[in-house]
Chain A
């Protein structure tokens, strides 16, 4: 069967060059970077090169790049590390309602530790208002954390402006850029970013490795104790194959950025336009222009997301949904609800996230397969533009939600 992968926001395939260099650092060049002998020096040099490659991609210095186990650890280290190190300055943190759970749940943990957290709302396009950030700042604010672009609806936030504001107020600014780095240009100086999270497997690198960028001078407390790796911020023997892989992926992203964006964005626009031309009663979720190059997120009224996903999967297309059924919880996506979407519309959302390996033929195939699936599900649905439902249906299990 034809297989089309449209779930690059979940994970990307490891680039073959990346995999090749990683293999080398597992089998032949397996040394511990902390060892003084040849094997150790060889591994140490490779880690330094990877660090330089990540720094170059971000416009940062090598000594501001700290390798972690992934995006979740980077977010935790940024939030908790800054909070604990700057407790004497204040106990207030500003973030948004649409962050990844790695940020949201770290903030909830900090609330239990005595910190105050403001969760900013977003508009109907999932955009944070600069005015709201400004108004939330108090003399106790030590950190602002706003994601660079949302993983579900792709909206790119006014990072530069928020960064500028934070700089003027002398508040640290962290951004979760997991969906962005490698897929869209990021410069930590241009955007006034103090801390930034990266995940290796979202930019054609391996899983299990990530980066926290920490601007020189920013105080962060380490969360795990042990050896003196990563300048004592992150103890533990370096994941050399992962780090080398991420370095290679960063190098390729830097060299291929322009063509990667042009290719993926072209496919995205063709897919959005094609769906809009072929299917009625839909809504494009997220900002029309300020969105990630590969993100398509559309709600199909009167149908439910998991049913859409299963039908697409039966035709070989891999996608994702903000429906409760696919989130493993009983509520649909917190991002879609924060955008003011009704539960019905949120349940019917479909995310197609495109990547550099996708082709025009993939998009054509999706445009051929998707309309009859939506039509079939709608023909089975008791909902329609004119449907009348009992206003308070007995939902004797669901009312426990």
Chain B
């Protein structure tokens, strides 16, 4: 059973979409697993000005994606890097045990997007 917060983020996901010319894009999961999460970042002066996501997956996958975008909006890159999958799950008042394993990858997608941003910036 999902918490009310998970169902709220699932039913009304925040920040769905893509960002054209994103500062960084990160993707984790694969279709074989049944979960793919892609996060788009718009970063200015080390601050995440905008964040969007697209997710293929179960209720937990969509809710964690939505939650992580809320958690990083307006945060610095360092603050965003400190967010873990566990923190995302906690912010949603927890996930069913079976979902902690596979559908809780939103922070990983975020970190991939930040990695992509840092690489692009370095060039």
Contact assessment for A398 and B56 in the assembled complex, using a CB-CB cutoff below 8 Å: no
Asked if B27 and A323 sit within 8 Å, CB to CB, the answer is: no
Q: How many residues of A contact B (CB 8 A)?
A: 33
**Complex Cα spacing A342 to B30, Å:** 12
Inter-subunit contact A397/B105 (CB<8 Å): yes
Known A-B contacts A393-B36, A397-B101; A325 and B56 likewise in contact (beta carbons under 8 Å): no
Q: Does A380 contact B (CB under 8 A)?
A: yes
Contacts of A231 in B (CB 8 A): none
Contacts of B13 in A (CB 8 A): 380
Shortest CB-to-CB span from A382 to chain B, Å, is 4
Q: Which of B44-75 touch A at CB < 8 Å?
A: 54-62
Q: What per-residue 1/0 map shows which CB atoms of A373-401 lie under 8 Å from chain B?
A: 00000011111000001101111111001
Cross-chain contact B58 with A307 (CB below 8 angstroms): yes
Q: Contacts A307-B57, A396-B108; is A379 near B30 (CB within 8 Å)? A: no
Kindly count the residue-residue contacts between A and B in the assembled complex, taking CB atoms under 8 Å apart: 99
Contact of B36 among A307, A324, A383, A392 (CB under 8 A): A383
State A395–B103 Cα separation when bound (angstroms): 11
Asked if B56 and A383 sit within 8 Å, CB to CB, the answer is yes
Whether A328 pairs with B98 at a CB distance below 8 angstroms is: yes
Cα distance A383–B34 when bound, in Å? 11
Bound-complex Cα distance A380 to B13 (A): 9
What B residues does A323 contact at CB under 8 A? Answer: 34, 58
Set B33, B54, B56, B60: member contacting A395, Cβ < 8 A: B33
- Contacting pair A325 B34 (CB below 8 A): yes
Instruction: Say yes or no: B34 contacts A302, CB within 8 Å.
Output: no
- Chain A hits for B101, CB < 8 A: 330, 397
Distance of A323 Cα from B102 Cα, bound (Å): 13
A396, B29: Cα distance in complex, Å: 8
B31: interface (CB < 8 Å): yes
Max count, chain A CB within 10 A of own CB: residue among B13, B38, B57, B105: B57
How far apart are A288's CB and chain B's nearest CB, in angstroms? 26
- Residues of B contacting A314 in the complex (Cβ-Cβ under 8 angstroms): 11
Instruction: Give the complex CA separation of A328 and B97 in angstroms.
Output: 10
Contact A379 B102 (CB under 8 A): no
CA distance in complex: A380, B66 (Å): 11
Q: How far is the CA of A342 from the CA of B34 in the complex (A)?
A: 11
Within 8 A of B (CB), among A341-394: 342-344, 347, 379-383, 389-390, 392-394
Q: B35 in the interface, Cβ–Cβ < 8 Å?
A: yes
Q: Which residue of A lies closest to B2 (CB)?
A: A310
Residues of A within 8 A of B7 (CB): 310
B16 touching A379, Cβ below 8 Å: yes
* B28, CB-defined interface residue at 8 Å: yes
Cα of A393 to Cα of B102 in the assembled complex, Å:
14
Top 6 closest A-B pairs, CB basis?
Answer: A306-B58, A325-B58, A398-B33, A344-B31, A347-B34, A382-B54
Give residues in B with beta carbon < 8 Å to A: 7, 10-11, 13, 16, 27-38, 54-62, 98-99, 101-105, 108, 112
Residues of A within 8 A of B (CB): 302-307, 310, 314, 323-325, 328, 330, 332, 342-344, 347, 379-383, 389-390, 392-398, 401
